[in-house]
Amino acid sequence: MVDGEIVVLDANGRPSFQALHHWSTAGLSIVYYAFDLLSCISTARDSAPAPLDERRDRLRSIIGDSGVLLSDALPGTA
């Protein structure tokens, strides 16, 4: 189970949630940005208790070159 969000990339390649409303008429594509790996069926394990950096490393290896984009890590604490 992956936490993420669909967005449209603007002309500069930046995610634009607002552009979702007009993506088809503007000729833009929808992409999925993954944020976090919540659980993984292949290991039958809840990933939530693991540190975020560990979950994101596992997520990176799972999505590979699937076309799913991995969001940049944000520095700081919640």
51-72 pLDDT, tens per residue? 888 888 989 998 999 999 898 8
Q: Which residues contact 52 (CB under 8 A, 6 or more apart)?
A: 36
CA–CA separation, 2 and 74 (whole Å): 17
In terms of Cβ atoms closer than 10 Å to its own Cβ (0-12, 13-18, 19+), residue 41 is: exposed
| Range 36-57 average pLDDT | 76
**Tell me: the pLDDT tens digits for 20-29?**
887 776 677 7
Other C-beta atoms lying within 10 Å of the C-beta of residue 18 = 9
CATH of region 2-70, choose from 3.10.180.10, 1.10.760.10, 2.60.40.420, 3.30.470.30? 3.30.470.30
pLDDT score recorded for residue 39: 81
Q: Are 10 and 16 spatial neighbours (Cβ–Cβ below 8 Å)?
A: yes
Domain layout of the chain by residue ranges: 2-70
What global pTM score does this model have?
0.72
Residues facing residue 34 across a β-bridge: 4, 70
